[in-house]
Structure 1
Amino acid sequence: MNLTTRRTRLAAAALAAVVAVGGLAACGNDDDTPAEGEKPAKLVVDTFGEFGYEELVKQYEQQTGIKVELRKTAQLGDYRPKLVRYLATGRGAADVTALEEGILNEFKANPGNWVDLTPLVADHSKEYLPWKWELGKTPDGKLLGLPTDVGSLAVCYRKDLFQAAGLPTERDQVSALWPDWNSFHQTGQKYKQATGKGFVDSITAVSNGVLFQQGTDLFYDKENNIIADTSPAVKTAWETATSMADISAKASTWSQEWFGGFKQGTFAATFCPSWMLGIVQENSGEENKGKWDVAAVPAGGGNWGGSWLAVPEQSKFPKEAAKLAEFLTSATSQVEAFKAKGPLPTNLEALQNEAFLSYTNEYFSGAPTGKIFGEGVAKIEPVHLGPKHQAVKENALEPALRSFENGQASKQKAWEQFVKDAAIQGAF
């Protein structure tokens, strides 16, 4: 038995033990079981980042008389450990829980933690992007989650900073600057030469942009064996990202430097899946309204992110929770969420909705974001993400890239560290 296999089996055994503990803990809640037909006074929804649900839950409250509490966590890296703890202890989970694609398979592995939504909602199987709907199901056909968004890629850029560097500012002209990644790098070098500042926020952002364009296996093969050290997709992302260290502002995604960099103009461009628009706006502030715009991503489309809404087994009101999830993922709600914060619809009716297709984002210089991101949906190919994808990306790949970017390790040493950490983080 090789080391990876042994670690995988040990990790699986440990996770099974955690689930068992969670099941025992959940049994302690029997006394709190609501009476037959009892209506919940409140339902709790857990999300990360910006889902655009603030106004939608107010509508739901008015329609049903049920109060909805939104619990938002800024970063997925902080969100996942809390969810693991809730499931392990059998208490604390929200009634409706968002599951991002990077962690979905990890939680699919223990379907007993989740309510099968099939008997609780109408049959919506023909209403969403087919591959997105299927990914929300467990191997045995259980409907674990209803689709929310998908992360069609673009580039968010600061027009004022481009102008100061003598670069074009109109989105079509900007898109034409970088038909490929090499051209993007060359544009960044021109910007840095003119301003002395970093062009793109970080090489980890570049890595994400490239990685999710590949449309193939990333850290795992189809049998969920770790292939991080041999994956062509990972190698392409690594080589492209490390080549751009010279134009990086070294503000890694989700860091305090990154959050502050939007307002301070530390960098001029970042990679924007549709759901990132709300995060850029929130952190840039009202004073930077109209300074941002949206251009095409180098080398075509791609998909970074996207989620589903699930109902934990420990919810005391699974029927009502399922109805709330159904409401939040409907065609109308997906259009409203997109207009509020940017998450791109996966509901087919929403994607054809005139209010979506014609929507322009005032904050981003009136960019036709419905058209820009909507056209990108057709180019998205589902990528196979293994059970610990997010852990490998955040705890192995990105730290290795940062160590190279910050001059703490040579490119070769950083790669070796990534391969070592990927085997540990990816064990399941």
Structure 2
Amino acid sequence: MSLTTRRSRMAATALAAVLVASGLAACGNDDDAPAEGEKPAKLVVDTFGEMGYDELVKQYEQQTGIKVELRKTAQLGEYRPKLVRYLATGKGAADVTALEEGILNEFKANPRNWADLNPLVSSEIADDYLPWKWELGKAPDGRLIGLPTDVGSLAVCYRKDLFEAAGLPTERDAVAALWPDWNGFHQTGQKYKQATGKAFVDSITAVSNGVLFQQGTDLFYDKENNIIADSSPGVKAAWDTATSMVDISAKASTWSPEWSGGFKQGTFATTFCPSWMLGIVADNSGEANKGKWDVAAVPGGGGNWGGSWLAVPEQSKYQKEAAKLAEFLTNATSQVEAFKAKGPLPTNLEALKNEAFLSYTNEYFSNAPTGKIFGESVAQIQPVHLGPKHQAVKENAFEPAMRAFENGQASKDKAWEQFTKDAQTQGAF
């Protein structure tokens, strides 16, 4: 038996124990069950990043008289461990829980942790969403564990004032013309650095995300969920493209304090923006930088980075009411309002045709027609098979190895070797 196989079996055994424990714990709250028809005084919603729900939950409170507590976690890396703990202990989970695409498959492994939404939501809504997005919300046993929220159509956010200072074009179509491919992006970055002496892009891990999610191929896993990190063409393309751009990088990894502060300080001129990132860029940049940012097409012509679902944990005492809240937050009107507030790109078909969405311009980003920019790419988005522990491989193996190279702690070859070794451990399931 190979080391990889032994690790996989040991990890699978350990995970199974946790899942069994969490499944039992989830069924252990019968004594606290509410009376039939009892209305909850409060429902709790857990999200990460910015999903644009602040005003929507206020609307729901006014319509229903039910208080809604919105618990936000800034980073997915902090969000997932808390959720794992809630499921393992059978307590602490919100009534409505956001599940990101990178962790969704992992949590599908034990669908007993999640309420089946099929009998709890309107039977007609299955046809309201992008078909592939709806199907990904189902567990292998057919249980519907998540209602679609958004997808992460890709673009580039860039600082017009910094481009102008470097003698580069600033109008978004002219900017997009600078980089029809990734080589063009690199060359533009080199021109920028030569003119200003400053970094062009926030980090090479940001570049790798842009490349990874436009491959249209398997990434860290194949369709049978075997780890293929060391042989995946898509992963190797992202690695080679990203590491080639170390000379134009600010080495500010996404979500780090240096990254968050870099937006206000002008440490870098570009970052890769799935639509849900717009609100985060604006929040980090602050009011003083309003109108300095704009949005242009991504090199290579598109891609899908991110996207989520809303689920109801089995341990919720108010599953029916929680499902209604999830349905409200994902309906067409709410998805348009969430997009206008913070940028999450709708998956509701009616929302995608809504004139308020299609004609929307983002004032913070120089009145960029973000509804048009992101909306036109939705039809081209294809689902990518991520595998059960995609997020763990990406965050704990791929990106650390890339940062080790970026920071001069390892050669490119040594960093790749470390990644392929760590991927086997992190990806074991």
Shorter-chain TM-score tier: over 0.9
Q: Counterparts of 2:198 and 2:31 in 1: how far apart (Å)?
A: 61
**2:348 aligns to what?**
347
Supply the AA of the counterpart residue of 2:80.
Answer: R
Q: Counterparts of 1:2 and 1:250 in 2: how far apart (Å)?
A: 37
Give how far 1:27 is off. Answer: 4.5
**2:42 aligns to what?**
42
How large is the RMSD of aligned CA atoms in angstroms? 0.8
Q: Counterparts of 2:2 and 2:26 in 1: how far apart (Å)?
A: 36
Supply the AA of the counterpart residue of 2:43.
Answer: L
Identity of aligned residues (%): 87
Deviations 1:45-99 (A, max 9, x none): 0000000000000000011000000000000010000000000000000000000
Supply the AA of the counterpart residue of 2:370.
Answer: T
Q: Counterparts of 1:129 and 1:21 in 2: how far apart (Å)?
A: 35
**2:149 aligns to what?**
148
**1:204 aligns to what?**
205
**1:315 aligns to what?**
316
Any idea what SS the aligned residue of 2:72 has?
strand
**1:22 aligns to what?**
22
Give how far 1:302 is off. Answer: 0.1
**1:161 aligns to what?**
162
Give how far 1:343 is off. Answer: 0.1
Any idea what SS the aligned residue of 2:371 has?
helix
Supply the AA of the counterpart residue of 2:93.
Answer: A
Supply the AA of the counterpart residue of 1:302.
Answer: G
Deviations 1:185-243 (A, max 9, x none): 00000000011111000000000000000011000000000000000000000000000
Where does structure 2 lack aligned partners over 5 or more consecutive residues? none
**1:326 aligns to what?**
327
Aligned length: 428
Give how far 1:336 is off. Answer: 0.3
**1:180 aligns to what?**
181
Q: Counterparts of 1:127 and 1:31 in 2: how far apart (Å)?
A: 37
Q: Counterparts of 1:250 and 1:172 in 2: how far apart (Å)?
A: 27
Give how far 1:357 is off. Answer: 0.1
In the TM superposition, 1:69-88 aligns within 5 A as 69-88=69-88
Q: Counterparts of 1:12 and 1:347 in 2: how far apart (Å)?
A: 36
Q: Counterparts of 1:332 and 1:27 in 2: how far apart (Å)?
A: 35
In the TM superposition, 1:84-103 aligns within 5 A as 84-103=84-103
Any idea what SS the aligned residue of 2:161 has?
helix
Work out whether residues 26 and 113 of structure 2, in 8 Å CA contact, stay in contact via their aligned partners in 1.
no
Any idea what SS the aligned residue of 1:168 has?
coil
Work out whether residues 291 and 366 of structure 2, in 8 Å CA contact, stay in contact via their aligned partners in 1.
yes
**Between 95-104 and 138-147, the greater mean CA deviation after superposition:** 138-147
Any idea what SS the aligned residue of 2:35 has?
coil
Supply the AA of the counterpart residue of 1:102.
Answer: G
Deviations 1:319-370 (A, max 9, x none): 0000000000000000000000000000010000000000000000000000
Give how far 1:316 is off. Answer: 0.2
Deviations 1:283-310 (A, max 9, x none): 0000000000000000101000000000
**1:359 aligns to what?**
360
Q: Counterparts of 1:4 and 1:338 in 2: how far apart (Å)?
A: 43
Give how far 1:11 is off. Answer: 1.4
**1:274 aligns to what?**
275
Kindly indicate whether residue 275 of structure 2 is the aligned counterpart of residue 297 of structure 1. Answer: no
Supply the AA of the counterpart residue of 2:57.
Answer: V
Give how far 1:138 is off. Answer: 1.1
Give how far 1:5 is off. Answer: 2.1
**Between 374-383 and 179-188, the greater mean CA deviation after superposition:** 374-383
Work out whether residues 185 and 299 of structure 2, in 8 Å CA contact, stay in contact via their aligned partners in 1.
yes
Any idea what SS the aligned residue of 2:126 has?
coil
Kindly indicate whether residue 254 of structure 2 is the aligned counterpart of residue 253 of structure 1. Answer: yes
Where does structure 1 lack aligned partners over 5 or more consecutive residues? none
Work out whether residues 27 and 315 of structure 2, in 8 Å CA contact, stay in contact via their aligned partners in 1.
no
Q: Counterparts of 1:142 and 1:339 in 2: how far apart (Å)?
A: 31
Q: Counterparts of 1:373 and 1:344 in 2: how far apart (Å)?
A: 7
Give how far 1:381 is off. Answer: 1.2
Any idea what SS the aligned residue of 2:39 has?
coil
**2:284 aligns to what?**
283
Q: Counterparts of 1:43 and 1:341 in 2: how far apart (Å)?
A: 22
Q: Counterparts of 2:308 and 2:27 in 1: how far apart (Å)?
A: 29
Give how far 1:399 is off. Answer: 0.3
Q: Counterparts of 1:358 and 1:2 in 2: how far apart (Å)?
A: 56
Q: Counterparts of 1:348 and 1:2 in 2: how far apart (Å)?
A: 47
Any idea what SS the aligned residue of 1:275 has?
helix
Any idea what SS the aligned residue of 2:376 has?
helix
Any idea what SS the aligned residue of 1:398 has?
helix
Work out whether residues 291 and 365 of structure 2, in 8 Å CA contact, stay in contact via their aligned partners in 1.
yes
**Between 118-127 and 289-298, the greater mean CA deviation after superposition:** 118-127
Q: Counterparts of 2:89 and 2:75 in 1: how far apart (Å)?
A: 22
Deviations 1:256-302 (A, max 9, x none): 00000011100000000000000000100000000000000001010
Q: Counterparts of 2:368 and 2:159 in 1: how far apart (Å)?
A: 13
Supply the AA of the counterpart residue of 2:420.
Answer: V
**1:421 aligns to what?**
422
Taking structure 2 as the reference length, the TM-score comes to 0.99
Kindly indicate whether residue 388 of structure 2 is the aligned counterpart of residue 370 of structure 1. Answer: no
Give how far 1:8 is off. Answer: 1.7
Any idea what SS the aligned residue of 1:40 has?
coil
In the TM superposition, 1:113-128 aligns within 5 A as 113-123=113-123, 124-128=125-129
**1:219 aligns to what?**
220
Any idea what SS the aligned residue of 2:156 has?
strand
Give how far 1:22 is off. Answer: 2.1
Kindly indicate whether residue 5 of structure 2 is the aligned counterpart of residue 8 of structure 1. Answer: no
Q: Counterparts of 2:85 and 2:186 in 1: how far apart (Å)?
A: 42
Give how far 1:2 is off. Answer: 2.1
Q: Counterparts of 1:68 and 1:11 in 2: how far apart (Å)?
A: 37
**1:129 aligns to what?**
130
Q: Counterparts of 2:26 and 2:228 in 1: how far apart (Å)?
A: 36
